[in-house]
Structure 1
Amino acid sequence: MDPAKLLDILGNENRRRIIQLLASRPCYVSEISGRLGVGPKAIISHLDLLEQAGIIECSVDEQRRKYFNIANNMRLEVLLSPYTYTVTLHDIHFNREKGGETPSKKETLDREESSTLLLKLSSRLRELKKRQEELTQMQQQLQAEYTEIMDQCLDSIEKVATNPIECELLFELLRNETTLASLCYNLRLHPSVINASLTALEKRGFIEYSIKNNQYYWKIRETGAENE
């Protein structure tokens, strides 16, 4: 799914509340309507959109009533800073099969050791939650350092650039290596102007290029490249 589309879907408060409710357990339309205080017609409309997007799915019980549950396991990340805006969506796949044991043997094992199993699984969940918190803290630290380094880079760019166009070019190349066409599009400047500035910056040893698929890709010169 397009992450931007998922953001649009989650922009509606009632759809977020539906997903939050279904994250706890599957529900019927009447249950969702009653819990959220929203009319069934509106709930059905939201459910249809969520189902079409592949976020939820429906099943039918013995009384032929539809109930809904979350269908996908995914992680949506939005990174927003003075220098970065990215939205990424990761589908998380895992194997539900435990393998090896016959159903009867597994059922017997569950009955005999259910208490021990529950304690072990609870301990594992606490461990995973702690690791998630550690990863979140590490991401925050990395983003803070990234922003700090970008601030320092901008200070350096202002000192080495001879004009505003060179400033903009170096800033673009600082984020990603790219082509002349992309630079022209992003900066809204004529190719001859961009090309002249790229040539000047290359001669002064600030940038370099590589050729991929018959295209020139420009980037900030890597440390130590002058010694190769």
Structure 2
Amino acid sequence: MDSAKLLDILGNENRRKIIQLLANRPCYVSEISSRLGVGPKAIISHLGLLEQAGLIECSIDEQRRKYFNIANNMRLEVSVSPYAYTVTLHDITLDREKQEESPVKKEIPAGEGSSAFFLKLNSRLEELKIRQEELAQMQQQLQAEYTEVMDRCLDSIEKVARNSVECELLFELLKNETTLATLCYNLRLHPSIINANLIDLAERGFIEYSIKNNQYYWKICETGVENE
């Protein structure tokens, strides 16, 4: 699924509440309507959008009633900083080989007695919660360091760039390698101006290009600039 489309879907408060409710257990339309205080017609409309997006699915019980549950296991990450805005969507699936190698299967045999089996599963769950918290803290530290290094890069760019166009080009290329067309679009400048500055920066050893799919992709030189 496209991450932008998912953000649009989750932008609605009632749809977020529906997903939160279904994350606890499968529910019928009447249950969702009652819990959220929203009419069944509106709930059906929200459920339809969520189902089309692949976030939920429905099943029919023995009494021919339709109930809904979460269909996908995914992670949506949104990063906003002074220098970047990224939205990343990860589908979280384990293939059969990885499932067979899972620590849960190795450390917690499925055939154990009910109490011991449950307590070991709970212990493993607590370990995973701690690891999730550690990962979140590490991501925060990386984001802070990224911002700090970008600040220093901008200070450095102001010292080495010969004009404002070079400043903007180096800043764009710090974020990612890209094409002449994309640089022209982002900076709203004529290709001849962009190209002339790119060539000058390349001759001075700041940037270089590679060819992919018959297009030139410009990027910051990996080896850096030697002292002049």
Question: Structure 1-normalised TM-score?
Answer: 0.89
Is 1:27 matched with 2:27? yes
Measure, in 1, the Cα distance between the counterparts of 2:174 and 2:44: 48
Between the aligned residues of both structures, percent identity stands at 81
Distance across 2 between alignment mates of 1:167 and 1:204:
14
Aligned to 1:162: 162
Residue 34 of structure 1: how far off its partner (Å)? 1.0
User: What is the Cα deviation at residue 216 of structure 1?
Assistant: 2.1
Q: How many residues align?
A: 218
Aligned twin of 1:130: 130
Cα displacement (A) at 1:76: 0.5
The match for 1:196 is: 196
Residue identity matched to 1:171: F
Distance in 1 (CA, whole Å) between partners of 2:41 and 2:79 is 35
Partner residue in 1 for 2:38: 38
**Aligned residue in 2 for 1:103:** none
Aligned residue number for residue 3 of structure 1? 3
Q: CA deviation at 1:73?
A: 0.5
How far apart are 1:212 and its partner, in Å?
Answer: 2.7
The whole-number CA distance in structure 1 between the counterparts of 2:14 and 2:137 is 30
Q: Shift of residue 157 of structure 1?
A: 0.6
Within 5 Å, give how 1:204-219 maps onto structure 2. Answer: 204-219=204-219
Structure 1 gap ranges (5+): 101-108
Distance 1:81 1:223 in 2: 27
**Distance in 2 between residues matched to 1:96 and 1:65, nearest whole Å:** 33
How has the CA–CA distance of structure 1 residues 165 and 118 changed in structure 2, closer, same or farther, with 3 Å as cutoff? Answer: same
The secondary structure found in structure 1 opposite 2:90 is strand
- The answer for the alignment partner of 1:119 in structure 2 is 119
Following superposition, the deviation at residue 132 of structure 1 comes to 0.5
Instruction: Give the 3-state SS of the residue equivalent to 2:189 in structure 1.
Output: coil
Helix, strand or coil at the partner of 1:72: coil
Give 1:13's aligned residue.
13
CA distance change for structure 1 residues 28 and 216 in 2, over 3 Å: closer, same or farther?
same
- Superposed displacement of residue 170, structure 1: 0.6
Measure how far apart 1:112 and its partner are: 6.4
Q: Structure 1 residues 119 and 199, CA, compared in 2 at 3 Å: closer, same or farther?
A: same
SS at match of 2:113: helix
Matches of 1:138 and 1:88, distance apart in 2: 17
Q: Could you tell me how far apart the structure 2 residues matched to 1:197 and 1:45 are?
A: 53
Q: Secondary structure of the equivalent of 1:218?
A: strand
Unaligned runs of 5+ in 2: 101-108
Q: Distance in 1 between matches of 2:12 and 2:213?
A: 43
Question: Does the CA contact (< 8 Å) of 2:205 and 2:225 recur in 1?
Answer: no
| Structure 1 residue 210, shift from structure 2 partner | 2.1
Corresponding residue of 2:76? 76
Q: Which amino acid aligns with 1:64?
A: R
Alpha carbon RMSD of aligned pairs, Å? Answer: 2.2
Moved more, 199-208 or 52-61: 199-208
Compute the displacement of 1:162 (Å): 1.1
* TM-score w.r.t. length of structure 2: 0.89
Matched, 1:148 2:137: no
